[in-house]
Structure 1
Amino acid sequence: MVCNPNSRDDDAAATITKARLPDICRDFNILFKTEAGADVTFEVGGDKLAAHRCVLAARSKVFMAQLFGPMKETTAQTGVIHIKDMEASVFRALLSFIYTDSFPFMEEDNGQEVEASENNLLVAADRYDVQRLKCICEEQLSEHICVRMVMSTLALAEQHHCQGLKEACFKFIQVQTPSSLQAVMATDGWDYVVSTYPSVLKELFAKVTALNQQK
């Protein structure tokens, strides 16, 4: 049997390389799931979620103001912060991203439910000023625009100042056939945009007109 004198050095190098691999996301995920040392509790839709003030404040200016700003005395008295107008699963996904910087796995994994989850997660990211998550949601929604959802997505983009998503909706509508455009105009999203964001509709018509003039 021939002994390779370099094998021990190779093993040592592999150990050193492995030790240098970034583990902070994994470690923070464990911290989030175990709730070890958690010092703040959120009550969302009847569920209670524990977290760490410093982690949240470091990742969100909104949490910084809420947990260490003028409002901190109020939260310190009860130790529980009540979150309204948000589902527990969405808030949990928001916290998961804050800890891991990875797009959270949504329990719903089929069709319309996934779209709704991404919509709600974008709203949550905007509400708590988690811009990276907001951009990721915007990109994912841009890749799944369809006739049924395009106007609702356009309204969402306008409401939360997502210019990239808004432009993606415009481009999708511009290339549709007349029959597909009729289907778009038959959706509830169309009626909502007409009544709530007429300036967006005017902008859309201007883009369609400009495109037709170029042909």
Structure 2
Amino acid sequence: MQNTKTMSTWNSGSEQGMGVFHICGYSQHINTAAGEKKKILVSSTFRAGGHHWAIFFRPDGFSDKSVAGIVIASKHVKLRASYELRLVDQSTGLLVSVHKEAPREFQRDKDFHSAISFFRAKRSIFESPTCLRDDCLTMECTVTVIKEPWRTGTKTIPKIQVPQSDMAGHYAKLLEEKVGVDVTFSVGGEEFAAHKVVLATRSPVFKAQLYGPLREAGAVPITIEDMQPDVFRELLHFIYTDSLPPLDYLKADARTDMIRHLLVAADRYGMERLTLMCQSILCENLCVQTVATTFALADQHQCDMLKDACLEFITCSIARDAVQRTQGYRNLKRTCPPDVIEVFEKACRFRKA
């Protein structure tokens, strides 16, 4: 089943802009006479968050001459923003904060026809000796516009396909090409070259034989008794590839015999996985002709699960009499201990009952 991964992102952010407003001749804009319209000083516009902003400064305030009025305005109808107004200390060049507004909604004002924020501040702040020098005043306004959250389009993350492991193929090639072989075995008159470290890694028996205190010294072939060359060849194949060959070159009966021999070899060299694989194959191929022989083999090599499978096959089989007429059954009675034969025959009697 092919899996796909998609990704989308929910974004939120802000954009910031700053306007600097120089006011020269500050004194000319304050203390307006009675009846005279109070002056409003307007900065040039500056951009923040994709909108134009301006500072409206009324030094004389509105109703109280001790208070100045400040309007931060944008021509946008509605938005959310924060801002800070600061004055430049002209003796040090440092900034003095006058007012800081947390994020808020800017709404349209009928007089300004813009989205505005209004606040008042004492004139004494603007007219302090450090900020007002040579009748000039400099203020900075930083506006931060909170952008509307948005979601990016859905993207499909490409899936990187990883091929199946080819390690077994490399080890099979290593065995086939015999590069770096350092041990030779003589089995039934045939010689097989291999790599000690591979054999020792896969089999505790080979490890003890090749690297243990009783290891055989010298370069002469190590002779292996009681094993056919074809069985040893398939054993090496499993050691290097962790898999059994298909054995297609053998007929059905010969394949079963090969699996039995491999089970014996696996038990001999302490290779548990191969032992279980052979048991599984023999279990799947139980029949009247093979069950007695397989039972005897299982008993000899302590394959309890395979023994139980044989007994279960007999108790469920309708051909129990045929089983007792097979050569495998006759061999079982000749080679196995009486108690083992008794277990086998008890299963047959149980079926007859």
Contact 1:149 1:189 in 2 (8 A): yes
Q: Quick check: 1:29–1:100 contact (8 Å CA) kept in 2?
A: yes
SS in 2 for 1:106: coil
Residue 23 of structure 1: which of 141, 166, 184 is its match? 166
Provide the residue aligned with 2:308 in structure 1.
167
> Residue 42 of structure 1 corresponds to which residue in structure 2?
185
Residue 320 of structure 2 is aligned to residue 181 of structure 1 = yes
Say which SS state the counterpart of residue 71 (structure 1) adopts.
Answer: coil
Q: CA RMSD in A?
A: 2.1
- Counterpart position of 2:343: 203
Query: Which structure has the larger Rg over C-alpha atoms?
Result: 2
CA contact (8 A) 2:314 2:351 kept: no
Structure 1 residue 193: Cα displacement: 2.2
- Equivalents in 1 of 2:303, 2:160: separation in Å? 46
Deviations 1:119-174 (A, max 9, x none): 11111111111110110000000010111111111000000111111111101111
Distance in 1 (alpha carbons) for counterparts of 2:330 and 2:347: 19
Match of 2:231 among 80, 83, 90: 90
What residue number does 2:290 align with? Answer: 149
* SS class of match (1:78): coil
- Residue 331 of structure 2 is matched in structure 1 by 192
Q: Please give the residue correspondences for 1:78-157 in structure 2 after superposition, counting only pairs within 5 Å.
A: 78-106=219-247, 108-157=249-298
CA distance in 2: counterparts of 1:92 and 1:149, whole angstroms: 24
2:196 is matched by which residue type in structure 1?
A: R
Equivalent AA in structure 1 for residue 201 of structure 2: A
Q: Is the 8 A contact 1:155 1:197 kept in 2?
A: no
Shift, 1:13, TM fit? 4.3
Question: Partner of 2:184: helix, strand, or coil?
Answer: strand
Instruction: Give the CA deviation at 1:70.
Output: 2.1
Conserved? CA contact 1:93–1:106, under 8 Å? no
- Structure 1 match to 2:63: none
Q: Normalising to structure 2: TM-score of the pair?
A: 0.52
Q: How far off is 1:206 after superposition? A: 4.3
Q: Following the alignment from structure 2 to structure 1, what is the Cα–Cα distance between the partners of residues 170 and 258?
A: 26
Structure 2: runs of 5+ lacking an equivalent:
1-156
Check the 8 A contact 1:93/1:105 in 2, yes or no: no
1:79 Cα deviation from its structure 2 partner: 3.3
State the secondary structure of the residue aligned to 2:218. Answer: helix
Q: Residue 79 of structure 1 aligns to a residue in which SS?
A: coil
Give 5+ residue unaligned stretches, structure 1.
1-8
Give the match for residue 6 of structure 1: none
**Residue identity opposite 2:226 in structure 1:** D
Question: Aligned AA for 2:342?
Answer: K
Gap change, CA 1:13 and 1:172, over 3 Å in 2:
closer
| Counterpart for residue 71 of structure 1 | 214
Deviation at 1:207, TM superposition (A): 4.5
Q: How far apart are the structure 2 equivalents of 1:209 and 1:183?
A: 13
Q: What is the alpha-carbon distance in structure 2 between the residues aligned to residue 188 and residue 198 of structure 1?
A: 18
The count of corresponding residues between Structure 1 and Structure 2 is 196
How far, CA to CA, are the matches of 2:271 and 2:238 in structure 1? 9
Asked if the contact 1:125–1:134 (Cα under 8 Å) also holds between the matched residues in 2, the reply is: yes
Q: Which amino acid in the other structure matches residue 191 of structure 1?
A: R
Whether contact under 8 Å (1:126, 1:134) holds in the other structure is yes
Shift of 1:209: 5.8
Q: 1:60 aligns with which of 203, 207, 226?
A: 203
Q: CA deviation at 1:205?
A: 4.2
The CA distance in 1 between the partners of 2:166 and 2:327, in whole Å, is 46
- 1:39 to 1:172, Cα distance in 2 relative to 1, 3 A: same
